[in-house]
């Protein structure tokens, strides 16, 4: 695994920063995010509503923890799970031909497409490497 602390620190800033940004934007506009979840047409309305209240806080908390280096194993684990879920969701949306906003960054969201899949894929790799590298001695 990666043991260079500067590389790991860079990954933490990137992944943590993205999730703090994403979390804050969604906390500000919970109804917009609920609608974005609903647009994927996979969850009933009540579930989209409650997911929209809780998910942004998980993103924000894990992003902050990751950047501060607190519980890095758990925060990178949770964010890796999230990114994996996002990739599956975006992929299924593309396969179903849905032309929707991803809902990733509140009103700054972009359309679901393969480039978004690539971005999430890179973040997933970074986050997973952070998870696998955490708890090991950094050099």
Partner 1 sequence: MRIRNLLYETALILLASVLLGFGSHIPLIKRYFQGEFRYGFISLEKHPLMVYITLPEAEELFQGGRSIFIDSRTEDAYNEGHIVGAVNIPYEKFNEFFRDTIFPLEQTLVVYCDGTECKSSTAVAKLLYERGFRNIKIFFGGWAEWIANSLPVSEGNDTK
- Residue 43 to residue 8: CA distance in whole angstroms: 35
Taking the C-alpha atoms of residue 35 and residue 59, their distance in angstroms, rounded to an integer, is: 18
Q: Determine if 71 is a binding residue for partner 1 (CB under 8 A).
A: yes
Burial grade of 87 (CB within 10 A; 0-12, 13-18, 19 or more): middle
Site string for partner 1, 22-61 (x = CB under 8 A): -----x--xxx-xx--xx-x--xxx-xx--xxxxxxx--x
Distances, alpha carbon 40 to alpha carbons 20, 60, 125, in Å: 23, 22, 24
Question: CB of residue 31 vs partner 1: minimum separation in angstroms?
Answer: 4
95 binds partner 1 (CB under 8 A): no
* Residue 14 in the binding site for partner 1 (CB under 8 A): no
Asked if 75 touches partner 1 (CB under 8 A), the answer is: yes
Taking the complex as a whole, how short is the minimal distance between the CB of residue 101 and partner 1, in angstroms?
Answer: 9
Q: Which is nearer to partner 1, 49 or 84 (CB)?
A: 49
Residue 109 main-chain phi, psi, to 5 deg: -65, 155
Helices (H), the chain: 5-28, 30-39, 45-68, 72-95, 114-133
Interface with partner 1 by CB under 8 A: which residues? Answer: 27, 30-32, 34-35, 38-39, 41, 44-46, 48-49, 52-58, 61-62, 65, 71, 73-75, 77-78, 98-100, 135
């Amino acid at each position: 695994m990666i043991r260079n602390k500067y590389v790991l620190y860079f990954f933490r800033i990137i992944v943590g920063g993205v999730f703090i940004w994403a979390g804050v934007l969604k906390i500000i506009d919970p109804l917009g995010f609920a609608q974005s979840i609903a647009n994927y047409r996979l969850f009933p309305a009540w579930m989209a509503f409650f997911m929209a209240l809780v998910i942004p806080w998980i993103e924000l908390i894990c992003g902050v923890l990751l950047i501060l280096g607190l519980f890095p194993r758990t925060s990178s684990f949770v964010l890796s799970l999230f990114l994996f879920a996002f990739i599956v969701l975006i992929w299924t949306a593309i396969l179903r031909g849905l032309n929707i906003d991803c809902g990733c960054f509140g009103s700054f969201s972009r359309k679901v497409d393969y480039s978004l899949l690539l971005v999430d894929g890179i973040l997933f790799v970074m986050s997973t490497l952070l998870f696998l590298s955490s708890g090991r001695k950094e050099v």
